[in-house]
């Protein structure tokens, strides 16, 4: 049995782990590494789509490996005299996809559509929502590929990728490999862990997860299931391993409610589009403070896709809760069909409506839509609620600084003095992460007692040594063999 780590080593995201056991080979996720990609690219400096895989392979963003990529993309390489990889029938039997965040799913776009993707029904719905509102591009072909053997996009043939739906605790087989999917909580619906029964023992792949929103009974059930499963290798995420604080969504609710309650005029809020639990919190606050929750096109589209798939209902959000939700009809010159459909089918409000009636609205605007404030004209009686993660990269910090300048420009509330530098302002924040804290992680590992621990999706893998006696430290592209 072999494990090869093509990504997700000493970094958050980009997870691409190849598991080979006897005659079966599968990938555990096939994500985009934002960290690696940002070494070479930024906005307006992107991999050249017309060259297909070329830029990605050159810069090590994708592994140089035969038997995994789309034939149309390989044929572009060959036309350009790049003979690094030849096309052959897939050497991979499947991809098991833990959840729909693009640092786990994004680069599936490049893979041969003959390779089936095993994931939850919710994850397919999430990917579907993202694919509608993201611009059409080579990196947005997870669900449907547009064959690049002709250059004219209108003449290209389309092909749906094969998705096989897996269900909580229902084992399935990929060839001889038995796999048990375990539904787990994360900041996106449909996240799963996978227990893989290999010839050399059981592997647990954690995906991204948190335990803080689960009831004590459910947590104990999970611990005892994993303990009984006798885990040989735990592939464990450690995004927040250095963070000891355990927060709950209920605390986010209380903090945000207090801020909204004391706001005389408009509340503008930013949250992560995929986070249904946060949407539910904001909806509750809007209801209690008698405000209309106004959402941009992409957020509205996401929620409607979740609604169609029964995911809102499953999360305790009813259709009647949408009575006080409106689509924020941002002015545009051209509209995509999905945007026109939303405008036709749902109640809308404009910047003029909000400007003359600020007290009645809670408006969702993220960084890329912040210019709308110019039309809405908020002032010191309005509040900016930051319900999203703290910046954790240099680029995010630069964006955050720009964002703060917008809030300062309009003299809105929502900023406070930075503890470390009183001259600087930072956002008051109401947010909890989708990732387990270091403190809970130590408990999780202690309870399930894996024989070997392999840190993934973590910047500080050495921290795991404080929690387990047998931790394997990895390098990118390293292959581990277990005999």
What residue ranges bind Zn ion (CB under 5 A)? 101, 208
Q: HEC states along the chain?
A: CEEEEEECCCCCCCCEEEEEECCEEEEECCCCCHHHHHHHCECCECCCHHHCCHHHHHCCCCCCCCCCECHHHHHHHHHCCCCCCCCCCCCCCEEECCCCCHHHHHHHHHECCCCCEEECHHHHHHHHHHHHHCCCCHHHCCCEEECCCCCCHHHCCEEECCEEECCCCCCEEECCEEEEEEECECCCCCCEEEEEEECCEEEEECCCCECCCCCHHHHHHHHHHHHHCCEEEEEEECCECCCCCCCCHHHHHHHHHHHHHCCCCCEEEEECCCCHHHHHHHHHHHHHCCCEEEECHHHHHHHHHHHHCCHHHHCCCCHHHHHHEEEECCCCCCCCHHHHHHHHHCCEECHHHHHCCHHHEEEECCHHHHHHHHHHCCCCCCEEEEECCCCCCHHHHHHHHHHHHHHHHCCCECEEECCCCCCCEEECECCCCCCCEHHHHHHHHHHHCCCEEEEECCCCHHHHHHCCCCECCCCCCCEEECC
Nearer to Zn ion, 20 or 208 (CB): 208
Nearer to Zn ion, 7 or 414 (CB): 7
Nearer to Zn ion, 141 or 208 (CB): 208
Nearer to Zn ion, 148 or 457 (CB): 457
Nearer to Zn ion, 185 or 208 (CB): 208
| CA end-to-end span of the chain | 7
Minimum gap (Å) between residue 434 Cβ and Zn ion:
6
Nearer to Zn ion, 26 or 97 (CB): 97
Minimum gap (Å) between residue 439 Cβ and Zn ion:
20
Minimum gap (Å) between residue 99 Cβ and Zn ion:
6
Minimum gap (Å) between residue 201 Cβ and Zn ion:
26
Is the distance from CB of 326 to CB of 347 less than 8 angstroms? yes
Minimum gap (Å) between residue 243 Cβ and Zn ion:
16
Nearer to Zn ion, 207 or 378 (CB): 207
Nearer to Zn ion, 104 or 148 (CB): 104
Minimum gap (Å) between residue 205 Cβ and Zn ion:
13
Q: What angle do CA 458, 440, 223 make, to 5 degrees?
A: 105
Minimum gap (Å) between residue 107 Cβ and Zn ion:
15
Minimum gap (Å) between residue 101 Cβ and Zn ion:
4
Minimum gap (Å) between residue 432 Cβ and Zn ion:
14
Residues 6 or more apart whose CB falls under 8 angstroms from that of 285 comprise 253, 256, 257, 260, 362
Is the distance from CB of 127 to CB of 143 less than 8 angstroms? yes
Minimum gap (Å) between residue 457 Cβ and Zn ion:
8
Residues 6 or more apart whose CB falls under 8 angstroms from that of 144 comprise 131, 158, 159, 160, 161
Nearer to Zn ion, 457 or 468 (CB): 457
Nearer to Zn ion, 94 or 207 (CB): 207
Minimum gap (Å) between residue 237 Cβ and Zn ion:
9
Minimum gap (Å) between residue 429 Cβ and Zn ion:
19
Nearer to Zn ion, 70 or 101 (CB): 101
Residues 6 or more apart whose CB falls under 8 angstroms from that of 371 comprise none
Nearer to Zn ion, 122 or 265 (CB): 122
């Amino acid at each position: 049995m072999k494990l090869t780590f093509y990504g997700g080593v000493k970094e958050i995201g980009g997870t691409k782990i190849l598991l080979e056991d006897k005659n079966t080979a599968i990938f555990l996720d096939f994500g985009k590494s934002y960290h690696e990609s940002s070494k070479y690219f930024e906005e307006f400096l992107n991999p050249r789509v017309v060259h297909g895989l070329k830029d990605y392979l050159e810069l090590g963003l994708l592994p140089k490996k035969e038997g995994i990529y789309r034939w149309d993309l390989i044929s572009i390489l060959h036309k350009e005299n790049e003979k690094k990889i030849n096309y052959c029938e897939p050497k991979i039997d499947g991809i098991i996809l833990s959840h729909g965040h693009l640092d786990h799913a994004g680069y599936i776009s490049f893979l041969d559509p003959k390779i089936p993707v095993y994931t939850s029904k919710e994850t397919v719905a999430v990917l579907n929502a993202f694919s509608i509102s993201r611009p059409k591009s080579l990196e947005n072909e997870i669900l449907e590929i547009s064959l690049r053997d002709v250059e004219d996009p209108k003449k290209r043939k389309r092909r749906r990728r094969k998705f096989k739906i897996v269900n909580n605790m229902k084992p399935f087989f990929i060839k001889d490999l038995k796999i048990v999917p375990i539904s787990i909580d994360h900041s996106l619906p449909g996240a799963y862990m996978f227990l893989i029964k290999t010839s050399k023992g059981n592997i647990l792949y954690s995906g991204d997860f948190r335990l803080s929103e689960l009831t004590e009974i459910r947590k104990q059930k999970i611990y005892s299931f994993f303990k009984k499963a006798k885990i040989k290798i735990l592939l464990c995420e450690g995004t927040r391993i250095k963070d000891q604080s355990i927060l709950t969504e209920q605390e986010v609710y209380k903090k945000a409610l207090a801020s909204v309650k004391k706001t005389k005029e408009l509340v503008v809020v930013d949250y992560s589009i995929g986070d249904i639990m946060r949407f539910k919190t904001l909806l509750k606050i809007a209801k209690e403070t008698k405000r209309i929750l106004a959402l941009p096109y992409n957020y509205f589209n996401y929620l409607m896709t979740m609604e169609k798939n029964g995911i809102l209902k499953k999360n305790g959000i009813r259709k009647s809760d949408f009575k006080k939700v409106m689509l924020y009809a941002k002015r545009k010159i051209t509209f995509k069909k999905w945007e026109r459909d939303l405008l036709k089918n749902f109640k809308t409000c404009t910047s003029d409506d909000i400007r003359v009636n600020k007290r009645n609205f809670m408006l969702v605007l993220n960084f890329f839509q912040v210019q709308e404030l110019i039309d809405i004209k908020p002032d010191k009686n309005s509040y900016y609620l930051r319900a999203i993660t703290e910046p954790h990269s240099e680029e995010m910090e630069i964006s955050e600084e720009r964002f703060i300048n917008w809030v300062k420009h309009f003299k809105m509330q929502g900023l406070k003095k930075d503890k470390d530098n009183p001259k600087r302002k930072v956002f008051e924040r109401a947010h909890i992460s989708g990732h387990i804290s270091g403190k809970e992680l130590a408990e999780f590992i202690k309870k399930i007692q894996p024989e070997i621990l392999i840190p993934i999706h973590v910047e500080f893998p050495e921290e795991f040594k404080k929690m387990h006696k047998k931790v394997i430290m990895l390098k990118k592209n390293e292959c581990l063999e277990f005999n």
